Amino acid sequence: MRRFAGAPPARPKKNTAQEAATSATAPLSRRRFLGRAGAIAVAGIGLPAIAPGGFLGARSPSERITMGAIGVGDHGVHRNLRFLFRQKDARVVAVCDVFEERRERARSLVDETYGETMCEAHKDFRRILDRKDIDAVMITTPDHWHVLMSIHAIRAGKDVICEKPTLTIAEGRALAETVKKHKAVFQTSTEDRSLECYHRMAQVVRNGLLGKIERVEVELPSGTRYEDEEEAPVPPGLDYDLWLGPAPRAPYTPNRTEKMRWRHISDYSGGILTDWGPHQLDTVQWALDVERTGPVEIEGRGEANFKSTYDTFVEYDVTYRYASGIEVHVKSGGTGLRFIGNDGWIGNPRFAAACEASKDELLRWEPTEKDLRLPREPAGEHRSFLDAVKSRGEPYFPAEVGHRCSTLCHLGNIAMLTKRKLKWDPEKEEFPGDDEANALRSRTMREPWRI
């Protein structure tokens, strides 16, 4: 049997309050899964519950939201920082990365953008959370850090916008419960709900224009079969132990920490299915009005090289069945999406492409006052998040919805790992009477990390 994994390292001494947050459970061996489904409980002590001085309930809507950017690699800079720079009511005041070159480059970019020299650069994300002058954080790290960092940030009084996905089902539930408990704002960071094509599909389906939905066809990219590498010295300027964080200890190899490689290692990610799945599968659940629940049955098959470091599924074919009888079929090899009903279909052939449909009127249709109008923020996920921070409402892809969407991807991986049809209870979030599958809902974190 094998595992999937995730996230940060023991912090430098001092700051004892936050050191207490990192006491962890035993490390996970490379080829075993955690048998305790509830290992990641919200009751675990993380960073201390700081009074919510960073929350903006009393803040004037005209004031700027101060932000820290955690993870400033390629996507963190070229997507997230640059989108935040466009928001007049947000100001990035600190950046963080375990790579010295990346954080210093990001610091220079922030200062250059604002025409000031006020941005601070940190290696340890906890330095960002210590700061009372930071209201919110943008997290753009490998997947195994997403939930741990987000929960610690929320406990420190920060609102959070974080890249998808979660690492496990149990971590996702812990995150959703933490957001609810602390009345925090959390945005699962994807652009799909801002795009006209996916918004149109969801509105057409939700308004019944396709009749009874029979099935949904989803295409997601195939993974890449990378070659294993020899161990190498850790390069200067990288805190590799902090990069690993709660993931199992592993030798440094030259490309392990690179985005397109770590996504294919189950210690840090669920593979290409959990990378791309939260895009189209969110639209699927949104359109089917099941975004806060899930399927009742899953079966799938896939191809992976479990003897390799790069051991996640690179090819997959998964079918989800919902209580309504609707089937959602996901296969590797593309990025298309199609909803099929007994009175027509609508979809697109590739990611973000214009809609195609069985009838031209579906492409021109606009809801009237009598129809359901789904919300949309054309300016994207960052704008939706900032508006929610000021209003204290929900952004367009909140924690519970993001968790349920990531859960779909995890369910697909678990079905492929067990190689059999699985029953799923979306209310209890468990596989009824199936100890083997239930053990795969969670993982142990490497000491001294825990949530």
Domain holding 41: CATH number?
3.40.50.720
Instruction: Write down the pLDDT at residue 37.
Output: 34
Question: Do 65 and 201 lie in a common domain?
Answer: no
What would the mean pLDDT of 156-167 be, rounded to a whole number? 98
In-domain check, residue 299? yes
Phi/psi for 88 (5° steps) reads: -65, -20
- Cα 167 to its chain centre, rounded Å, is 8
Measured distance CA(340)–CA(357) in Å, rounded: 10
Residue 14 pLDDT more than 70? no
Instruction: Write down the pLDDT at residue 62.
Output: 52
Question: Do 391 and 339 lie in a common domain?
Answer: no
Query: Of 317, 380, 428, 302, which is closest to residue 138 (Cα–Cα)?
Result: 380
- The answer, yes or no, to whether the previous bond of 165 is cis (omega within 30 of 0) is yes
Query: Of 65, 240, 227, 13, which is closest to residue 142 (Cα–Cα)?
Result: 240
Question: Do 187 and 280 lie in a common domain?
Answer: no
End-to-end Cα distance, the chain: 25
Question: Do 354 and 324 lie in a common domain?
Answer: yes
Asked whether 337 and 219 are in contact (CB, 8 A), the reply is yes
Q: Which residue has the tokens 């959602």?
A: 328
Per the structure, the complete domain to which residue 366 belongs is given by 193-224+266-373+408-440
**Domain count of the fold of the chain:** 2
Question: Do 362 and 217 lie in a common domain?
Answer: yes
Give the count of beta carbons closer than 10 Å to the beta carbon of residue 118.
12
DSSP per-residue letters across 100-143:
HHHHHHHHHHHHHHHTSS--EEESSHHHHHH-TT--EEEE-S-G
Q: What is the largest CA-CA distance in the chain?
A: 65
Asked whether 413 and 320 are in contact (CB, 8 A), the reply is no
Asked whether 349 and 306 are in contact (CB, 8 A), the reply is no
Strand-by-strand arrangement of the 356-357 sheet = 356-357, 344-348, 337-341, 213-220, 327-332, 315-321, 297-303, 422-423
Question: Do 317 and 392 lie in a common domain?
Answer: no
Question: Do 342 and 359 lie in a common domain?
Answer: yes
Asked whether 312 and 264 are in contact (CB, 8 A), the reply is yes
pLDDT band at 134 (very low <50, low <70, confident <90, very high): very high
Measured distance CA(242)–CA(232) in Å, rounded: 17
Amino acid at 331: K
Asked whether 434 and 163 are in contact (CB, 8 A), the reply is no
In-domain check, residue 257? no
Tell me: the pLDDT tens digits for 219-254? Answer: 999 999 999 999 999 999 999 999 999 999 999 999
Question: Do 150 and 52 lie in a common domain?
Answer: yes
Q: What is the CATH number of the domain that holds 342?
A: 3.30.360.10
Amino acid at 421: K
Question: Do 313 and 177 lie in a common domain?
Answer: no
Amino acid at 132: K
Question: Do 172 and 279 lie in a common domain?
Answer: no
Which carries the bigger pLDDT value, residue 55 or residue 392? 392
For residue 187, list its beta bridge partners. 161
Measured distance CA(285)–CA(301) in Å, rounded: 22
Tell me: the pLDDT tens digits for 398-409? Answer: 999 999 999 999
Tell me: the pLDDT tens digits for 255-284? Answer: 999 988 999 999 999 999 999 999 999 999
In-domain check, residue 69? yes
In-domain check, residue 379? no
Asked whether 199 and 172 are in contact (CB, 8 A), the reply is no
Tell me: the pLDDT tens digits for 81-130? Answer: 999 999 999 999 999 999 999 999 999 999 999 999 999 999 999 999 99
Kindly state the percentage of the chain with pLDDT values over 70.
86
For residue 299, list its beta bridge partners. 319
Instruction: Write down the pLDDT at residue 5.
Output: 33
DSSP state of 77: I
Instruction: Write down the pLDDT at residue 259.
Output: 85
Instruction: Write down the pLDDT at residue 102.
Output: 98
Instruction: Write down the pLDDT at residue 303.
Output: 98
Residue 4 pLDDT more than 50? no
In-domain check, residue 117? yes
Question: Do 138 and 273 lie in a common domain?
Answer: no
Instruction: Write down the pLDDT at residue 63.
Output: 84
Question: Do 348 and 325 lie in a common domain?
Answer: yes
What would the mean pLDDT of 170-196 be, rounded to a whole number? 98
pLDDT band at 22 (very low <50, low <70, confident <90, very high): very low
pLDDT band at 320 (very low <50, low <70, confident <90, very high): very high
Question: Mean pLDDT for the chain?
Answer: 89
